A and B are shown apart, each in its own frame.
Chain A
Amino acid sequence: MSSDRTLLMRPSPAARESLSALTPILHRVVERIGETNDITTLALEPLEPPSMNFRCGQFNMLSALGVGEIAISMSSAPHERMLRHSIRDVGAVSHALCQSSVGDLVGVRGPFGSDWRVESARGDVDQRDTVVVAGGIGLAPLRGAVEELVRDTQRGGGRIFILVGAREPSQIVFRADLESWKARGAKVSLTVDLATSEWDGRVGLVTTLLADAGFDATNSRAMLCGPEVMMRFTARALIDLGMDPEGILVSLERNMQCGVGWCGHCQLGPLLLCRDGPVVPYAGLVSQLLTQRER
């Protein structure tokens, strides 16, 4: 037992890549941030270097030791020092992870899946407008991508429009980041479903932010993450405004188990979302699959 534990803790750098796909690598919680009443961000550090290389939009399988394992997207950008995940407490495993304290150990398997393609766009700084639409915790898988994009705008890339919808004002995550992105040139618009007396901003669906946001729909791309119905409505509204469906990326969630395309739990039509997703273009097949009822 103890030698197994040593193996998990001290893989050789060469063995690390293949090992990390199937065997959790132990990480220590080095910071814990309460974002809202039910969303917590954990900053993780491997017990042994090196740190993980990943792309924005990918996910890890995080294990709460003795409880279980769940898929959680990275909420940090690859260039940031610390690997972060932002977790909403919805059930047994997410609850255990949200309850962890600084110093606790968490298992990490990954990185898995496709990404928001900000890295490929960065080679030849993308001149198009980028419209980022997030609902609730959906801003977490987009946070790293926005960080990268904001760096790009400062190098002459296209404009960034960040549209965020939340149930109520207290559920808006990453407030400090939203302020910082605004200060660095991004246009940030927020809306809530239920206003409180202190809220003096917009009230309504996130799609109501699209019309007067100011982007050029015919020369832009979009990244959407949030409840699936919200993404469907937003994608349709963007297409109605003239955006090319191939340029609209959505991040889809299904039950993930193996993360490597073996078990089939994450199937959506012919796609295995742990491998072909979670980030996929909202064009053709995906838009059809999302309107079909799953059996």
Chain B
Amino acid sequence: MSTAMKDLVEAHPFMTSMNEESIELVSGCARNVVFAPGSLLCAEGGDADTFYLLRRGQVSISAHVPGRGSVVIETVGAGDVVGWSWLVPPYRWTFDARAMDAVGCIAIDGACLRVKALTNPSLGFALLSKVSMTLLERLQATRMRLLDLYGDHRVK
């Protein structure tokens, strides 16, 4: 693993407050990738073997809805994470993730990280805490959108 990769991983907001050893272990499963606008980072139903720490660009998360085509549910950008399905069986993507512009990210091999997390509980705990925090933020944002704040709430 190069120091350059470790520096990139360490600089990503997802890694904030992770200890040196955890950063090294994560960096050992990481590689730097770029996606051209329009290309897929992952496709619904495919094997979820990777997750992505976004460094630049925007990614749309979408699902295919019969009769409506591909519906974008949310967009994420630099500093965000794409992909949770590597963490829980059956390790399959549940949505499409597509680059909206030139996307630069760190791709982390999920299988590699799962093995390291099993043998190193401190890394496992740190990762799960981080993932839970991010999931909580996303859940709260989704709840807010369910409130339909801008909708027409007149009593009919």
Residues on A facing B (Cβ under 8 Å): 38, 90-91, 135-137, 165-167, 171, 191, 193, 195, 197, 199-205, 207-208, 211-212, 226-227, 229-230, 233
- Residues of B contacting A197 with CB < 8 Å? 68-70
Identify B149's interface contact among A38, A195, A204, A226, CB under 8 A: A226
- Can you sample 23 A-B contacts with CB below 8 Å? A91-B154, A136-B149, A166-B150, A167-B151, A195-B72, A195-B73, A200-B100, A203-B74, A204-B74, A204-B141, A204-B145, A205-B145, A207-B141, A208-B77, A211-B77, A211-B78, A211-B79, A226-B150, A227-B149, A229-B147, A229-B149, A230-B149, A233-B144
- Residues of B contacting A229 with CB < 8 Å? 144, 147, 149
- Residues of A contacting B73 with CB < 8 Å? 195, 203
B150 and A195 contacting across the interface, CB-CB below 8 Å: no
B75 and A203 contacting across the interface, CB-CB below 8 Å: yes
Q: How far is the CA of A166 from the CA of B145 in the complex (A)?
A: 11
**B60 located at the interface, meaning its Cβ lies under 8 Å from any Cβ of chain A in the complex:** yes
B148 and A193 contacting across the interface, CB-CB below 8 Å: yes
- Residues of B contacting A199 with CB < 8 Å? 72
Given A202-B75, A203-B60, A208 and B149 contact (CB-CB distance below 8 Å): no
Q: How far is the CA of A208 from the CA of B72 in the complex (A)?
A: 15
Q: How far is the CA of A95 from the CA of B149 in the complex (A)?
A: 20
Beyond A193-B145, A205-B145, A226-B149, list 18 extra A-B contacts (CB 8 Å): A136-B150, A167-B148, A167-B151, A193-B148, A197-B68, A202-B75, A203-B60, A203-B73, A204-B74, A204-B141, A208-B75, A208-B77, A211-B77, A211-B78, A212-B78, A226-B150, A227-B149, A229-B147
